[in-house]
Chains A and B, each alone.
Chain A
Amino acid sequence: MSGLTERVHTIVDALAGDAVGDDERLGGLARLLAQARGEVDLEFGVAGNEGPLARMRREWSEFRARALGELEARCWVGDGRLRTRVGWTGDLQLVLGPGVGADERASHVRSLRAEFERQARRLEVLTAVAVAARRIAGLLAGPGAAMVSALPVAFACVREAHARGEGGGVPWE
Chain B
Amino acid sequence: MGVNDIKEAGRSAADTVRKYIEDVAELRVETQTVTPGSDEAPKLAARTTLRLDGDNTTVVPVTAVGGKLEVDAGLHALHMQHVQTAIEYRTRVLEALRELLRGR
Contact status B100-A127, CB under 8 Å = yes
A1 an interface residue at 8 Å Cβ cutoff?
yes
User: What A residues does B35 contact at CB under 8 A?
Assistant: 97-98
- Identify which of residues 69-104 in chain B touch chain A, using a CB-to-CB cut-off of 8 Å: 74-75, 78-79, 81-82, 85-90, 92-93, 96, 99-100, 104
Q: Select which of B1, B3, B42, B92 is within 8 A of A120 by beta carbon.
A: B92
Contact status B27-A91, CB under 8 Å = yes
| Count of chain A to chain B residue pairs whose CB atoms are closer than 8 Å in the complex | 104
User: What B residues does A9 contact at CB under 8 A?
Assistant: 104
Q: State the interface size on chain B (CB cutoff 8 A).
A: 39
Q: Would you give the shortest CB distance from B59 to chain A, in whole angstroms?
A: 14
13 more A-B residue pairs beyond the given contacts A88-B23, A91-B28, A131-B99, with a C-beta to C-beta distance below 8 A: A88-B93, A90-B86, A92-B30, A92-B82, A93-B29, A96-B78, A97-B33, A97-B36, A98-B35, A98-B36, A116-B85, A127-B99, A131-B104
